[in-house]
């Protein structure tokens, strides 16, 4: 992602909405949605945005407007989706380890397509459903899913069918998150189809997420055209569901912050910023890299960008190349639209930032900044 807007706008946004600040660009989001949609020309395709990556309802509405459905991982995902305006039939639920309360809740909300993770979950869900539902199985086949806790092995299909009062029509394949190698998907399509055919009522193939995003520009990039061509060649008759998460939304978001301190350790610049890994937890949880940019146009220096806590892992970027920065300068942590705000927490007891959506460079506040009161909410003395 190039720097998405001018330094003047960055300053204005930080002044108006406070620093740090999540900023999303509607045009970027909509062009990515269009690019993915157009790449998969198989006629019976339905896209469902995986809102585990970002649950802001103003952003979910962009997917709804583009004709996508929603993919839910938890009842909370469904709740947000319904508030964004998705109809229950536009929501696909693929879950693990749902309690009876979870099943009751999502069934009461009217969710009809549910992919499950074990024979016992199929039994519970099917016993509790008081209207016909479309059931699918999440696939566990170590040759292609790798060793994973997720899914049902084909040797258990027969048991799942036996305990279900509804036909099992779906097979759900999850590749594991952040896969940029297109072949990791295209090479397994035949095996997934052959496995799905072991379900006598199979009519839906769900490719559930894992499509990568190239956070390092020089790295491999998932090729949607190649993936689409491969599906087109191999599928016929069945319905196809695609559940992109990060691939759809990562690029449209950035986390803006201001420099609060600069010091030098020999040749290296240590830049302190007014955000922390609690606002962008994905780096501390999964590791990984997000490009950090400033608007200054001068020689670059080796720099570490650190959060505003003493937590030893509070690094937003290590070994970055940045100009010599000064207190007050804005910086942007790019490509943070996915697993950014959604994974933020009150760890370190700093409150969460606001979120703003830019449409034609015009900002709209889509989530208010928290304040200290949030740290006391629900505490009892």
Ligand X SMILES: Cc1ncc(COP(=O)(O)O)c(C=O)c1O
The footprint of ligand X (CB under 6 A) covers 50, 52-53, 71, 73, 94, 174, 177-178, 208-211, 243-247, 338
Question: Please, which residue, 210 or 330, has the CB nearer to ligand X?
Answer: 210
What is the rounded distance in angstroms from the CA atom of residue 380 to the CA atom of residue 112?
39
Query: Rounded to the nearest 10 degrees, how much is the dihedral formed by the CA atoms of 8, 10, 13, 18?
Result: -130
Least distance to ligand X, CB of residue 201, Å: 21
Q: Please, which residues have CB within 8 angstroms of residue 84's CB and are 6 or more apart in sequence?
A: 57, 60, 61, 64, 70
Rg (CA), the chain: 22
What is the rounded distance in angstroms from the CA atom of residue 228 to the CA atom of residue 42?
7
Least distance to ligand X, CB of residue 212, Å: 8
Least distance to ligand X, CB of residue 281, Å: 15
Question: Please, which residue, 196 or 247, has the CB nearer to ligand X?
Answer: 247
Least distance to ligand X, CB of residue 177, Å: 4
What is the rounded distance in angstroms from the CA atom of residue 116 to the CA atom of residue 20?
39
In DSSP notation, 109-125 reads TT--EEEESSHHHHHHH
What is the rounded distance in angstroms from the CA atom of residue 11 to the CA atom of residue 99?
47
Least distance to ligand X, CB of residue 247, Å: 6
Question: Please, which residue, 17 or 185, has the CB nearer to ligand X?
Answer: 185
Helix, coil or strand: residue 15: helix
What is the rounded distance in angstroms from the CA atom of residue 22 to the CA atom of residue 5?
13
Question: Please, which residue, 78 or 257, has the CB nearer to ligand X?
Answer: 78
Question: Please, which residue, 169 or 308, has the CB nearer to ligand X?
Answer: 169
Least distance to ligand X, CB of residue 127, Å: 23
Question: Please, which residue, 17 or 49, has the CB nearer to ligand X?
Answer: 49
Question: Please, which residue, 78 or 354, has the CB nearer to ligand X?
Answer: 78
Beta bridge partner(s), residue 322: 301
Least distance to ligand X, CB of residue 122, Å: 16
Least distance to ligand X, CB of residue 365, Å: 26
Question: Please, which residue, 247 or 254, has the CB nearer to ligand X?
Answer: 247
- Residues 177-181: contacts with CB under 8 Å, at least 24 apart: 177/209, 177/210, 177/245, 177/246, 178/210, 178/212, 178/213, 178/246, 179/210, 179/211, 179/212, 179/222, 180/212, 180/213, 180/214, 180/219, 180/220, 180/221, 180/222, 181/212, 181/220, 181/222
CA 73 to chain centre: 11
Least distance to ligand X, CB of residue 52, Å: 5
Question: Please, which residue, 4 or 212, has the CB nearer to ligand X?
Answer: 212
The pair of structure tokens assigned to 289 is 């890299």
Q: Please, which residues have CB within 8 angstroms of residue 165's CB and are 6 or more apart in sequence?
A: 126, 127, 129
């Amino acid at each position: 992602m190039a720097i998405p807007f001018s330094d003047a706008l960055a300053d204005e946004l930080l002044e108006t909405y406070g620093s740090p600040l999540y900023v999303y660009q509607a045009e970027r989001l909509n062009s990515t949605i269009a690019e993915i949609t157009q790449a998969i020309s198989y006629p019976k395709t339905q896209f469902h945005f995986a809102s585990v990556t970002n649950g802001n309802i103003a952003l979910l509405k962009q997917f709804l407007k583009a004709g996508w459905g929603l993919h839910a991982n938890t009842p909370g995902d469904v709740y947000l989706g319904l508030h964004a305006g998705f109809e229950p039939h536009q929501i696909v639920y693929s879950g693990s380890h749902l309690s009876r309360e979870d099943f009751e809740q999502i069934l009461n909300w009217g969710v009809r397509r549910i992919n499950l993770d074990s024979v016992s979950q199929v039994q519970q869900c099917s016993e509790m459903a008081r209207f016909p539902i479309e059931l699918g199985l999440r696939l566990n086949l170590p040759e292609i899913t790798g060793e994973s806790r997720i899914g049902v092995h084909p040797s258990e299909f027969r048991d799942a069918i036996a305990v279900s009062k509804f036909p099992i029509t779906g097979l759900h394949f999850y590749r594991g998150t952040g896969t940029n190698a297109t072949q990791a998907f295209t090479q397994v399509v035949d095996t997934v189809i052959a496995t799905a055919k072991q379900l006598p009522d199979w009519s839906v193939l769900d490719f559930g997420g894992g499509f990568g995003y190239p956070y390092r520009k020089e790295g491999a990039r998932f090729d949607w055209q190649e993936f689409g061509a491969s599906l087109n060649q191999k599928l016929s008759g069945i319905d196809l569901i695609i559940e992109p998460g990060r691939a759809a939304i990562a690029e449209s978001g950035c986390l803006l912050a201001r420099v609060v301190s600069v010091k030098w350790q020999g040749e290296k610049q240590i830049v302190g910023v007014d955000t922390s890994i609690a606002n962008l937890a994905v780096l501390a949880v999964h590791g990984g890299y997000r490009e950090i940019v400033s608007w200054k146009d001068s020689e670059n220096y080796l720099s570490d960008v650190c959060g505003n806590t003493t937590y030893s892992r509070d690094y937003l970027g290590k070994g970055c190349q940045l100009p010599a920065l000064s207190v007050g300068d804005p910086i942007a942590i790019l490509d943070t639209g996915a697993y950014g705000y959604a994974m933020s927490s009150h760890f370190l007891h700093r409150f969460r930032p606001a979120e703003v959506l830019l449409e034609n460079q015009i900002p709209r506040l889509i989530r208010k900044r928290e304040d200290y009161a949030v740290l006391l909410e629900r505490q009892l003395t």
